[in-house]
Chains A and B, each alone.
Chain A
Amino acid sequence: MAEGIKDKVVILGMGCSKFGERWDASPSDLMVEAFEECLTDAGIERGEIEAAWFGAGIDAFHVGASAMPMAIALRLNYIPVTKVENMCATGTEAFRGAVYAVASGACDIALALGVEKLKDTGYGGLPQRSRGVENDMYWPNLSAPGAFAQLATGYRARHRLNKQDLKRAMAHVSVKSHANGARNPKAHLRREITEQQAIDAPFIAEPIGLYDCCGVSDGSACAIVTTPEIARSLGKEHLVSVKALQLAVSNGTESSHESWDGSYLKTTRIAAQRAYDEAGVRKPAQEISMTEVHDCFSITELVTMEDLQLAEEGKGVTAVLDGNFDAEGKLPCQIDGGLKCFGHPIGASGLRMIYENYLQLQDRAGPRQLADPKLGLNHNLGGFPHQNICSISMIGHL
């Protein structure tokens, strides 16, 4: 029986670029910005990195194929570099690769970096792109808001909610994240909004309105990981270790089998339970201090809270409106502003979320610092509610 990843690998350093409409920054510029912060934080030289994992989501609008763009941008020393892509879980996938490499003993120090340059398309929103030769023949031409709007209609039908109550809870999710993002200098969107603004905003994909959508940004984030022993030998204290790393990938059941009704995220439920088992968490709502979840849309965050067992099934609306996930709530969610305010440079997001929990655990989060956090959960969801990849990572004090 495998032991799992818990406490085998620690984070030596992290870096995160400013996220936003970085018109003047190339993907290389973004990578270097995150990498320089990360190297300084880790206190090592570039040459000490033995292997690297590179996450980038949408090649056609981005850096192009292979791991070379990162190796060139960072002038890595001919070390093994692996390119990973797993939709919105890409950043966490890069982290997973580096962590597993260290845990396996294949190398002592590994780098994970994610980057995405989304603002070179000439229009707002994620790039319109092919879904593949066969899928393009019969899939609806769905946008990301269009895909997740269905989670709202499915959730509303399952729990017999009226449109207004659900919309108000969705608005609250966004109001909370904007309030958090306003306090974060690295966030893209730094303006607070009101519940009414969110409710009144035009529909992008009914019932998802403008403020139910996360931003679209350029950005990069990275981590350098190693073993606890090496970290200590480098003089590091207050170590943050990896407690769980899990991934669940849809196998077509949700999209083609009637056992799924469109009201929840099956992969999240599966990955969460595996992560809790791996981390030894028995009572998630009590043991987890903070979450960074994949709030690509407000409804995704609301439903995810139930799927992570942090809200009772069907009671997400109440939990959100009661302020449970606000900065001052029982279980703060997106204390950095989330995808909502950072935007979602696909390859970078997972690492950006880990970065925030890492800062919080090291008491380095400035004006948004939470009191005595012990365990942080990061959640990504790539794809669509009916067909997706869910990654969950948990980090905490060693």
Chain B
Amino acid sequence: MSSGITGFGAYIPQARLQRAVIAEANAWFDAGLKSLGRGQRSMCNWDEDAITMGVEAAADCLAGFDGYAPESLYFASTTFPFLDRQNSVVLTEALDLPRQVQAMDVSASQRAATSALLALLQGERGGMVVASEHRRAKAGSRAEMLWGDAAAAVATGGGPVLAEFLGGESLATDFVDHYRGGEFDYDWEERWIRDEGYLKIVPEAVDRLLGNCRVEAGDITHFILPTDQARTPPAVAKRLGIDPGAIVDNHAATVGVAGAAQPLLLLAKTLESAKPGDLILLTGFGQGCDALLFRATDAVSGFKPARGVAGTLAAGREETNYSKFLAFNNLIERDIGKRGETDKQTYLSGYNRRRDLVTSFAGGKCRECGTVQIPREKYCVNPDCNALDSQDSYSFADKQGVVLTWTADRLTFDWSPPAYFGMVQFDGGGKLMMDFTEVCEGGIDSGSRISVHFRIRQFDPQRGFRKYFWKARILD
């Protein structure tokens, strides 16, 4: 059986910061930013990061299968919230995957995701690669305008192959176009990166790959070269002899270039419109190059992702508050008030006891009376039952529900006031008071329908920790 891509998913944060407001705020310092002042970039809400977006993309990917549990989960990012706490394992628990899954973080390069995908496709086990990036650039930089936050996931097992893997090549060379030794990237001149980097390194890997696969460059239908340099993909395509019409747009002015997530995001986007027989050349650039070649199968035309790139791209909300972007990305120090000073420590032993609730969003279903409940306690909550230890684990992560009560709290501390929260009644049973995220003013009432999402609940800046939990979002 041939290996290849069997499914995919994507997630782009709803908020799309208008680039005009970035230009307007910063052109006093760098007039050149005005030339980028059209279009938009995606922007994480305050409670989103590489992990939460990764969960969204992975869930979208898995929703395309009927109960597929990947044997491996590789998680690629250069903006993991934790340097030493396996971020991919948080994903596996949020996705409620079996504990036997081989989970691994892949990082430190813009080609982390293509390297992970290559390793997975060349290995014996099927699985899923998730790539996610919450990009961090200095205020007023070109990168701030050109980059965006996003995540994507691709699966290599569990179903019919949508794109057959024809071969892959890797090239390692310590070409330092940029690096991150501290908080922000430091880069070198763009033209040098193009001429000495992309135009020399990518062709070397691709030539070898196409030669091994006996494919002519002119036959490539989709050419993915992730970069924030607008002119580089055409230049590289020309050097390789690839039809310029095959170049997959990096959507710098609609989403922004999503770093390590960009290759998989563009691959997912390509698969949404690919026709059987299309040849897809995927590359990843960074201290060398990965090149992977796929041929779309007949199955691709019948495949519809649960949400996919088109779906998440369309679910945008215009954001015009640049100050909010700076605050959400910790680029300015805000006065958060005395209520924000409360200690946010996580007691790790307590967290460990409640991981099923906090990370997997599992409650219980009583075997005696059938009552669904969350949180799961020792005694059943049904006053007519109260049976002891009678509950099986019951997942709420895929459930929808309805708002019973709600408020917009302007007194309590919240990173984006007012804090919306209220009581949710889940379809199929279970009730919980929970936070609502990304509520538009006037967009909530008793009776509103909701879905649930894994989000950041609190930051503990004193100890470099962050808490996650599930929040409700109003369904459109």
Contacts and interface: CB of A to CB of B under 8 A. Distances in A.
A128 B422 contact: no
Contacts of B357: 137-138
B447 A252 contact: no
Interface stretch (B129-137, B151-159, B260-268, B339-347): B339-347
Interface in A234-280: 252-253, 255-259, 261-262
Contact of A128 (B346, B406, B412): B412
Interface residues of A, number: 45
Nearest to A124: B411
B431 A150 contact: no
Contacts of A130: 342-343
A138 B408 CA distance: 18
A143 interface: yes
Interface in B270-296: none
B414 interface: yes
A111 to B, nearest CB: 34
Contacts of B430: 256
Nearest to A121: B338
Interface string A149-180: 11111101100000000000000000000000
Contacts of B434: 138, 140
Contact of B342 (A129, A140, A152): A129
B285 to A, nearest CB: 41
B304 interface: no
B46 interface: no
A141 interface: yes
A206 B408 contact: yes
Contacts of B467: 137
Contact of A150 (B346, B354, B423, B457): B423
Contacts of A255: 423, 431-433
B264 to A, nearest CB: 31
A259 B406 CA distance: 18
A74 B445 CA distance: 51
Nearest to A260: B431
Interface stretch (B96-104, B117-125, B313-321, B368-376): B368-376
A138 B358 contact: yes
Contact of B446 (A123, A125, A153, A253): A153
Contacts of A137: 346, 350-351, 354, 357-358, 457, 467, 469
A142 B409 CA distance: 7
A2 interface: no
Interface stretch (B2-10, B69-77, B172-180, B377-385): B377-385
A153 B406 contact: yes
A141 B350 contact: no
B446 to A, nearest CB: 4
B240 to A, nearest CB: 52
Contacts of B346: 137
Contact of A262 (B404, B411, B419, B469): B404
A126 to B, nearest CB: 9
Contacts of A139: 433
- List the 4 closest pairs (A to B, CB-CB), nearest first: A146-B409, A149-B407, A140-B421, A157-B446
26 contacts: A123-B338, A130-B342, A130-B343, A133-B347, A137-B350, A137-B457, A137-B469, A138-B358, A140-B419, A140-B434, A141-B414, A141-B419, A141-B458, A142-B421, A149-B407, A150-B405, A152-B407, A202-B410, A204-B409, A205-B411, A207-B407, A256-B430, A256-B431, A257-B381, A257-B383, A262-B404
